[in-house]
Amino acid sequence: MTKFIALVMAGLFAAGVAFAGEHGNCAKQVGNKQGTAMACNVSLANLNLTPEQKTKMDAVMAEHQKAGCTPESEAKYMQETKTILNKEQYAKFKAECKKQEKAGA
């Protein structure tokens, strides 16, 4: 049953990314509009999430993609992420975000 749920969640995430449209390049859009806003779409595979964390992160990411690229949605996304991940995971998440930010600049 757990594998089925994981497969469904992965499919939903893939579909969301495929149909993201203008939100698919959120980091670039926010960087162009604000310069200081941090848009982050880090792969969750490297964070060693528990199944519960993965479910919560998938939901937060989906909500973030729906909201679009605004400073408010980015701030909310990062705050919610901080409440889901433990300190080590969040530090790794932020480091990956900064790496993406530098690569996009």
DSSP string, 29-93: HHHHHTSS-------GGGG---HHHHHHHHHHHHHHHHH-S-HHHHHHHHHHHHHHS-HHHHHHH
How high is the pLDDT of residue 67? Answer: 85
Number of domains in the chain: 1
User: Tens digit of pLDDT per residue, the chain (105 long)?
Assistant: 676 565 556 655 554 544 443 344 454 444 444 433 445 667 788 889 999 999 999 999 888 888 887 888 888 988 999 999 999 999 999 888 888 877 765
Residues 6 or more apart whose Cβ sits within 8 Å of residue 40: 27, 74, 77, 78, 93, 94, 96, 97, 100, 101
Residue 80 is part of which domain span?
2-104
pTM across the whole model: 0.59
